[in-house]
Amino acid sequence: MVDRCECGTEMGRGILACPGCGRLRYSAELKELSDRASAASRGGDLTSARAAWTQALRLLPAGSRQHAAVADRITALAPDPAAAAAQAEPQSRFWKWIVGLGPIGVAMWKLKFVLVVLLGNGKLLLLGLTKATTLLSMLLAFGVYWTAWGMWFALGLVLSIYVHEMGHVVALRRFGVAASAPMFVPGLGAFIRLRQSLPPRQNARVGLAGPLWGLGAAAAAWAATMAGGSPMWSAIAHTGAWINLFNLLPVWQLDGSRGFAALGRVHRLAIAAVFGAAWIAVGDGLLVLLAIVAAVRAFESGAPGDSDAGIGIEFGALIVALAFILRMSPVTLQ
């Protein structure tokens, strides 16, 4: 089901805040719950107050200022012993196995809990590392890449892919949409599982968030090269830029295809032209393929008539920035 905010922006099922104007979807319900919780607190009924705030928390986007404020209110109230015990109990088989190791395992479990609390708001990048499936699949991918290209390049490659995937996760959280932590597949990169559909424009922003964060990782490696780092940093930057450009290919479930879902014919042709110009400047054959596929998709019958210029600008800027890093970071693995 897709609703429209008062500003006219589409809001799919599960989106808790308008991505256009930031208006909360359930503002009336939140006001009612806030009044109920405040009244219960004044009357000394902390259990009812906590229940009302907990219900309100589910209607707020994770990572938002309002979500953090309500979470603080819940924490400030006297905790329910049974709920606290259930929250403290390890939920995954992996962490239950860790705790089963005895005192050392318990210490590891407590360390995990402390890390999650300390990372908190604005530290979502590292949150995926607390998931056993993500951590173990990362280690598997790291081992495979280490065998092929050496330890340090493998580490840089795995971290670059992880940053890319967490870009999607953070963007989804901004829209109030649940998503799985990244799962690595050696040789194929990584993926996340989206638990609900999104309108085209929101889907496009989530899709481009991966290459945007991946650009940040590649830029950091390139900056290390410029600061006098070893040629390995240049190789990591080059490979990261290439992988993120590949993900901008507008086919199948790749990020570029999700970005194209919000672009009309004119903007798609403009993206094809940017790909072509990048190929002339850089000379990598991947950019030729990207330009051809983008041009073909510009003339498909399913192209929307209502195009999002902001997404088109972001798409084009990503191409230019990634192509620049690709050009300035030669691969010299030694």
Burial class (CB in 10 A: 0-12, 13-18, 19+), 60: buried
Report the mean per-residue pLDDT for the chain: 79
| pLDDT for residue 19 | 67
Q: Which residue has the tokens 């072509």?
A: 276
The rounded average pLDDT for each run of 10 residues, N- to C-terminus, in the chain (334 residues) is 65 67 80 85 79 82 78 70 44 49 44 42 59 84 90 92 88 76 80 75 91 92 89 93 95 92 94 96 94 94 84 94 92 56
3-state secondary structure the chain: CEEECCCCCEEECCCCECCCCCCECCHHHHHHHHHHHHHHHHCCCHHHHHHHHHHHHCCCCCCCHHHHHHHHHHHHCCCCHHHHHHHHCCCCHHHHHHHCCCHHHHHHHHHHHHHHHHHCCCCHHHHHHHCHHHHHHHHHHHHHHHHHHCHHHHHHHHHHHHHHHHHHHHHHHHCCCCECCCEEECCCEEECCECCCCCHHHHHHHHHHHHHHHHHHHHHHHHHHHCCCCHHHHHHHHHHHHHHHHHCCCCCCCHHHHHHCCCCHHHHHHHHHHHHHHHHHHCCHHHHHHHHHHHHHHCCCCCCCCCCHHHHHHHHHHHHHHHHHHHHCCCCCC
pLDDT digits (tens, 9 = 90+) for 265-311: 999 999 999 999 999 999 999 999 999 999 999 998 878 878 889 99
Phi/psi for 14 (5° steps) reads: 95, -10
pTM, full prediction: 0.64
